Structure 1
């Protein structure tokens, strides 16, 4: 195993080309360049998800250069930073439909199984304005499956109690797809070198860390001809997650359980050729998000009588519509007009208290032109007006009851320009420049963060100028990619501690001047009949230009990933996977941080007819590591899996 680890670390730095599968739901894709290929380093394919034993969307995203996943923490959820930008500021879509919660703009990516997807597209610098997103530039689109044959079947299960079932078929003008995921994960074990003197551990077992998830994604489609398509779909998430108590030295333990974390989404996609030169694309959706958080007095999880004892209930929903008219003004030019509206409602209360309502609408009007100047060169330019209107703002106070607060509104003009150049069939160069804006979330403006923060109703909008250049190439069996970026952010929102003299840990979200994020990514890969090797290195430097002492949270400066698969004899596949990252701060004043770490996973597999059998081990070296200070993650874990494809 040491030889395998050394071999992985010695690889040239890159990303293996991640090929699209035939089961991609193309109506769910949204591209800056509709007629050009996407950079492979910015995708995670279904093939790679299966090969690398990836179970959750958060695990898949960990292989995208420049993206840093954060797991665990006080909400026991998976988020990320993308080139320094927090996941709360990066919208997540499934087939172009927003998945993020109305209140705080986040979604727990550990609740979403990667097994239901055909691929993941990550727009790092600038996503299409036609999405209508509220973003500082990047976006992530999870693209589901669309069957091509009369019967398509995949099934997998492993000893970590994860399983997926994908069944689909296409019959003439109709198709249907059903994807089911299930996970029932027991309390995990920490590395053997971790101290066991905490009352919240049973030996090395991390108590109250279990989770249970049930996922469903189903769609039915009608394709009457070569140009039109209509799809109705439904996505369901049912989860129960336990939050293990804090084990660090810079805070106190809390005892919490989410007995329900539920999400439902119904959507409709359509594409209709109105005339030979006009096409209408539309999306409609209705999304609900319901969760219950129980907080207990102590580690017995039995009483809720003290200050820490309460039950919080969210019952949110969102309605949305998106329509785009595509006018093919010439064989080499498409002019697009887009309108987007999303109505968000947040309803919350603690048991025994009245329900407080928050609601707002976010809308946009966009014009975009894509010109294919020749076979090698394409240019896209777009401009849009984006607005936010607050409708209802209520606050509950135990002394005064429910009261109305003033609402607010804001608007911005965003723009994008991108140049795509293919000097040859195996080379691809893209330059992107954009201006984007992010309206402050409802939670950012009005939440007390369970007593940890002071609300800031006057929190302003962040604006960003993003510059990005990316290049990828291939020569015989060798591939490579490189990129550099610069983001200038004005009125950046950051946590500021020390705003309450009675408690130095209380913070407030404030607009803290100007910041710049800059960095680069590079890598290379090599592939033979018996070998696949790829690796990537990314560096992100973040600076607040007006308040230089403020630290950026959960955002390591450097990250390195490497993948090696050997196929020596008898159709065996010996695989090693390495993820390493540097130190990250956990508080804005720099008083707490997490150490840098590297983890190695390995597996041995063989395919027999249509069945793949595999044994593997996670965290081979049994390293102690954590993404959030005080929340260490699992130690060495063995597993076996079996999958079947028809």
Structure 2
């Protein structure tokens, strides 16, 4: 069966970087939001453009990123959070940026990528492993940078409105370029009252099928950007964004009796998942050979989680019911200096500062506060020896300072302080590139990267089942990667890579550390006990068969081993993944067919698995006029009953239709 599925998807075709980015897309990119070590594209980066996001009808960042090789989408079922893994590394180790500004939640380092819609983006850039030290700390597995749009015409209007099974979506982006000034504004909403389950889903004690219970979400945002470009070498911009979200968490429907939710389901809802950001970016030319980039930002995150008694979601009287409030904020900035030392040598250095503040309390309890300072100083250099050989190197010193950490005792109703704890880490990287000829390159890289323990890692009681460990040390990994790229073959683009990561000081949950005589149970603790090895291979091909017909394929193999205890499994990443697509255009009509195969994956450290699956999606687009298009399609055509996490079935066959409006005036 597995061979048949793989054969089917190979026949469909695949993607390497989801096609080429058009010149029009490229001009709309907000270049101040890019973090580029040097003038050329990083060979470890993958990019998805605005046009490609629309073609594949990807409404949030998680589903968009899943198109790329080396990336796996997952679902934290109990929290209904969409996550991705980059070559096996999660979002704590692969932070998310918007226009080069970090946006992860201060408490745990994660971010729910389903809450980030794609309507205002120009492109998404992913750097897998070996991300430049210019990004700052905690880039152990790479980085994800969401880059917004910038207007290039006197007036630009991009709008869409659509229906989808269970919901609807609307968005509008308006921009204007006025000589030395530009202004960009956006407003969007994505609402889903439910998602439908496959007809093959078998009802359980917590779910009867058809419309998935408590699967709603409502996300909307607005933002603006004001920029000033006095000349071609200088630019500054100030931006603001406000987003609000609410969602439900569907209840566990699986058969794993060792899962605590099998006997005690969680009835959770998030009435608030709100985020507010303001930032200032600039790029100044100091001389013909030097420049200075700055970023300043303030980010606020407000979250409310409600746990209810039962599936009516109306009462909170039982012991496990609660209302949990987060009121977090972070502020900081960075300065990057670039200097061309010679025609063959280019030097860059950056300094980062970020303060994370987490404030939380349950209803009826006092608020407690935890705060950290994060510092980073890094330098990179590139030297070109001749037309074939180029060497890049970089190093950074990172430091985390504990400012305040309050501990609440629910028995005595008192707040005390955890002991102060600080930590430091060093990152280093080297990359050697050999160009056989223009468009054909071989790259070998070695990186030593780190991640600091989050606030949650150090201080969480995990709902009374664990004891804190403030003195956790950073995780670190030694990455080796070899990559080959080739665009010299007529109408064909090839990309292949292999990598090997050896991870030390992995933060793992250690059981039976201390016995709680009051609760009569053993407590666990997060400790630096783990050692792991990740190794993988990625291959991708895109073939422009003709001007109207494009097809391709990408495939990822990844193996993750727990060196200390092979019986403890790493979760949420399939060993095999393939994504394929073919696109055909004729006159005013366009057709897109794409498929995905994932092998089975572990959903628990003790071996519970989510079965593998094959999905097929199809869509069509009609160009009514130069400024009006109509798009519609079917996802999960075969109505597959599949899961990313055991016990949490995903959406069955579903439909969408929308209108796209694109107008510009010179």
Q: Say yes or no: does 1:188 pair with 2:200.
A: no
The match for 1:30 among 35, 48, 51 is 35
Contact 1:5 1:600 in 2 (8 A): no
Cα distance, 1:504–1:182 mapped onto 2, change above 3 Å? farther
Q: How has the CA–CA distance of structure 1 residues 366 and 197 changed in structure 2, closer, same or farther, with 3 Å as cutoff?
A: closer
Structure-2 change in CA distance of 1:431 and 1:179 (3 Å): farther
8 Å contact kept, 1:272–1:281? yes
Contact 1:17-1:41 at 8 Å conserved across structures? no
Aligned residue for 1:461?
Answer: 474
CA distance in structure 2 between the partners assigned to 1:298 and 1:398 by the alignment? 24
Deviation at 1:457, TM superposition (A): 2.7
Q: Does 1:167 align with 2:174?
A: yes
Answering whether residue 11 of structure 2 is matched by residue 10 of structure 1, we say yes
> What is the 5 A alignment of 1:65-144?
65-71=69-75, 73-144=77-148
Indicate the SS of the match to 2:119. helix
Q: How many residues align?
A: 640
Residue 224 of structure 2: aligned partner: 218
1:386 to 384, 398, 411: 398
Distance 1:7 1:552, change over 3 A: closer
Q: Deviations over 1:351-401 (max 9, x none)?
A: 110011101111011122122334444322111111111111111111231
Note the C-alpha offset of 1:510. Answer: 2.8
Partner of 1:611: 628
CA deviation string 1:139-190 (max 9, x = no partner):
1111111111111221112212122212112111101111222111011111
Matched residue, 1:153: 157
Shift of 1:331: 3.0
357, 361, 384: which is aligned to 1:372? 384
Q: What is the root-mean-square deviation of aligned Cα atoms in Å?
A: 2.2
- Find the aligned partners of 1:642 and 1:82 in 2 and give their Cα distance: 33
Is 1:406 equivalent to 2:419 in the alignment? yes
8 Å CA contact 2:283–2:292 kept in 1: the answer is yes
Of 570, 594, 600, 2:610 maps to 594
Residue 221 of structure 1 and its aligned partner are, at CA, apart by 0.5
Which of 484, 489, 505 is 2:498 aligned to? 484
- TM-score under structure 1 normalisation? 0.95
Secondary structure of the structure 2 residue equivalent to 1:110: helix
1:237 aligns with 2:243: yes
Equivalent of 1:544 in 540, 559, 562:
562
SS of structure 2 residue aligned to 1:89: coil
Q: Deviations over 1:200-228 (max 9, x none)?
A: 43x41111111100122321100011111
**Which aligned pairs between 1:111-510 and structure 2 lie closer than 5 A?**
111-160=115-164, 161-201=168-208, 203-249=209-255, 250=259, 251=261, 252-400=264-412, 401-451=414-464, 453-474=466-487, 475-496=489-510, 508-510=525-527
1:5–1:372 CA distance, 2 compared to 1 (3 A): closer
Gaps of 5+ in 2: none
TM-score normalised by the chain length of structure 2? 0.92
| SS of residue in 2 equivalent to 1:27 | helix
Whether the 8 Å CA contact 2:476–2:505 is kept in 1: the answer is yes
